Chains A and B, each alone.
Chain A
């Protein structure tokens, strides 16, 4: 009698999965690393793993609609003559003109202004359109210093010194295939059409002892009017926050690895920097130890998607959050209505991230004049304002259910965690226990 093997299903490797195999083949074919936009795509411990406890017998909730739940926040109270007053604790993160089309920047400005919050320039400088459409504009001060000038410093509402961002803390390097259009080339003082190199350190200072002197210079140029933010990626948040405070920052902006970028090496995005969940408590601890919590404000970003994320970030000690990817989706990025075009580009709605190629069907991450026309900045601005409204209402709903009359009164003790990782990172107990791994016994 012969023995025949029954059919077995083919088994793929979890380590050498389809993405990995395709990437190895791509590297072998081209000899260059893969570049894309966006933030970390892999599953990470995040706010979803935290839950609010809500009120019941020991705590009393507030009525929605009648009983006040305040959402305002003031940024820059430490040294600036003109701090920024936001109506909602959600701001629009730095994204460059050059990475985004003029219409997209206009849409963000309109939406933010309708909502009483700020937008932020990016690595290319300030455009007149953005300054015109955004009531509150934060001006980024980056290693490249593209377009940097004192007039724009003076007409900004705040200045954000960028040390790094979550997608690529410590990054710079060579960014290939970034097509520099004529307008962008002029603003950045570069030849058209060449690959763009990116410095990883600031050109005229190194270290927090020098940063202190640089912050003083910027204050002197702007007559001490503007709040000075310092933005860092999720690297060593405890030390970085303490040093930013010691160097004289008014506001610390902390961006986790889910935070997006216009274009950088995929390997960088996925392997350097921490999830935002792991960064918040250490940063807040540094502020508290220096007696600066709420005096130097903390803005966190990287994967903020809804009012629950906002409320959780604030409960852990942040003063406000910033959104980038979510704002772009709100105004139309990766919309399924362009599916046929995504398919033609070899991708699908929700996965499209080759923004540096300038072919975005949604007309947002492109400089192509035809594609840009697809985005109506007024309608898109309205969409962003709607989305911000929903985020705020959601956060207020949660806060009222926890008995808070101001979003800032949310505390870590209002939270519990579903997983060990989230519990350890956010330093809140595992649900149903009083245990925080690494902190205390059962």
Chain B
């Protein structure tokens, strides 16, 4: 199994190796040690490789991941799994701001807390946070599911479109056009499925509340002008 020690090996070599996997190659499990908060670790993966990062990373870990399985045994800086296309990213510790930003597919799991703007502009990614999330999360979220076992900060789901937000704890405040919505059987099923995929134990879908778009900003009406 290839091991990259970022305290002696340039980041370029790691990412180049990850981008150069031949079809049918044998070495598809990578380990990264001594990341020490480095940025752009394991970005642009485009084949079904697995990467285990031993330590904490900086910005944009697993950025634009397409098909890879990345696990960070530590914390992640801003923008983890940004624009992910498919695959899985698991952060054992906490994630900083913009976790899963503009993600279009795949599953991002954060075992600790995520900071502000979690899931900003999400476009189909599924995000499961076992801890709490910060303010302005799911801002302009278009599609996908955000599941939070802990609490959510101020202005959750501001200006969101069709993304689904499930929060088990308290929501400090809701953003523009975001309202609590009815949990129906299909939503419980989606939530159960995500909790199972994320390997979350001790939580059941019935404990969550669902939040989504009131859709009043979809077509301009002068009386909603204050919301802009």
Q: Are chains A and B touching directly in their complex (CB below 8 angstroms)?
A: yes
Chain A interfacial positions (CB closer than 8 Å to B): 30-32, 144-145, 148-151, 153, 173-174, 176-177, 189-191, 194-195, 197, 199, 203-205, 210, 213-214, 216-217, 220-224
Question: How near does chain A come to B73, taking the closest CB pair, in angstroms?
Answer: 21
A224 CB contacts on chain B under 8 angstroms: 12
Assembled-state Cα–Cα distance A183/B46 (Å) = 26
Contact indicator B66/A150 (Cβ below 8 Å): yes
> What does DSSP make chain A's interface, helix, strand, loop or mixed?
loop
B159 within 8 A of A: yes
A213 CB contacts on chain B under 8 angstroms: 39-40, 58-60
Known: A195-B218, A222-B44, A224-B12. A204 touches B82 (CB 8 A): yes
Chain B interfacial positions (CB closer than 8 Å to A): 11-12, 15-16, 19, 39-40, 43-44, 46, 58-60, 63-64, 66, 78-79, 82-83, 85, 98, 101-102, 104, 117, 120-121, 123-124, 139-140, 142-143, 159, 161-162, 217-220, 222, 225, 228
Smallest Cβ-Cβ distance to B66: which chain A residue: A150
Known: A150-B46, A217-B39. A203 touches B219 (CB 8 A): no
Question: How near does chain A come to B37, taking the closest CB pair, in angstroms?
Answer: 12
Question: How near does chain B come to A216, taking the closest CB pair, in angstroms?
Answer: 6
B104 CB contacts on chain A under 8 angstroms: 149, 189
Contact indicator A145/B60 (Cβ below 8 Å): no
Contact indicator A148/B83 (Cβ below 8 Å): yes
Assembled-state Cα–Cα distance A191/B143 (Å) = 10
Contact indicator B143/A189 (Cβ below 8 Å): yes
Question: How near does chain B come to A79, taking the closest CB pair, in angstroms?
Answer: 12
A-B contact count (CB 8 A): 107
Question: How near does chain A come to B86, taking the closest CB pair, in angstroms?
Answer: 10
Question: How near does chain B come to A266, taking the closest CB pair, in angstroms?
Answer: 16
Given A31-B222, A148-B102, A217-B39, 11 other A-B residues pairs in contact with their CB atoms under 8 A: A32-B225, A145-B123, A149-B85, A150-B66, A210-B59, A213-B40, A213-B58, A217-B40, A220-B43, A223-B19, A224-B12
Known: A213-B60, A217-B40. A197 touches B12 (CB 8 A): no
Residue from A150, A214, A216 with most neighbouring chain B CB atoms (10 Å): A150
Smallest Cβ-Cβ distance to B123: which chain A residue: A189
Contact indicator A145/B218 (Cβ below 8 Å): no
Assembled-state Cα–Cα distance A217/B66 (Å) = 15
Question: How near does chain B come to A28, taking the closest CB pair, in angstroms?
Answer: 12
A151 CB contacts on chain B under 8 angstroms: 46, 66
12 example contacts (A-B, Cβ-Cβ < 8 A) are as follows: A32-B222, A150-B46, A194-B218, A195-B218, A197-B159, A203-B98, A203-B101, A203-B117, A213-B40, A220-B15, A220-B43, A223-B15
Assembled-state Cα–Cα distance A31/B228 (Å) = 14
Assembled-state Cα–Cα distance A309/B174 (Å) = 51
